[in-house]
Amino acid sequence: MSESPKYMSFFAIMCASAAMVFSTLGMPYGTAKSGTGIAAMSVMQPELIMKSISPIVMAGVITIYGLVVAVLIASYLTLGITLFKSFLQLRAGLSIGLSGLVAGFATGIVSNAGVQGKAQQL
């Protein structure tokens, strides 16, 4: 049997890190963009503030999904992990993390437009 490379677990650990970091980077943008829309709307329609909080919560939920996936991936880390499984886990972490990043950006942009549109509609 050939000895496996020493860097195999690095890719699996980077996978868990990527899932957490990228999904967490989307949340502040979504929260800030939604928050500015809510702040601008609260000047015109102060009674709609509590109805407009849900986009901020949605941006936070995206981060929780990234954390859950990172914990699940980290629980599969074993001493005898193969290079193939490490790359599979890296792909899983990158796909979850980058989709969380884009979802956080989209949540912020769409909720900002929605909140401002709702304020102008009433």
* Per-residue confidence (pLDDT) for residue 16, from 0 to 100: 85
CA distance 23 to 107: 12
Any residues with CB less than 8 A from the CB of 115 and at least 6 apart, and which? 34, 37, 38, 40, 41, 48, 52, 55
CA distance 10 to 14: 6
* Per-residue confidence (pLDDT) for residue 1, from 0 to 100: 47
The secondary structure element, H or E, covering residue 92 is helix 83-121
Any residues with CB less than 8 A from the CB of 23 and at least 6 apart, and which? 62, 63, 65, 66, 67, 96, 97, 99, 100, 101, 104
* Mean pLDDT per 10-residue segment, the chain (122 residues): 70 84 90 88 84 85 89 81 84 91 92 85 71
* Per-residue confidence (pLDDT) for residue 117, from 0 to 100: 85
The domains of the chain, with CATH numbers, are 10-115 (1.20.120.610)
Residue from 86, 58, 67 nearest 21 by CA: 67
* Per-residue confidence (pLDDT) for residue 2, from 0 to 100: 56
User: Rounded to the nearest 10 degrees, how much is the dihedral formed by the CA atoms of 118, 102, 96, 26?
Assistant: -80
* Per-residue confidence (pLDDT) for residue 9, from 0 to 100: 76
* Per-residue confidence (pLDDT) for residue 122, from 0 to 100: 64
CA distance 42 to 109: 18
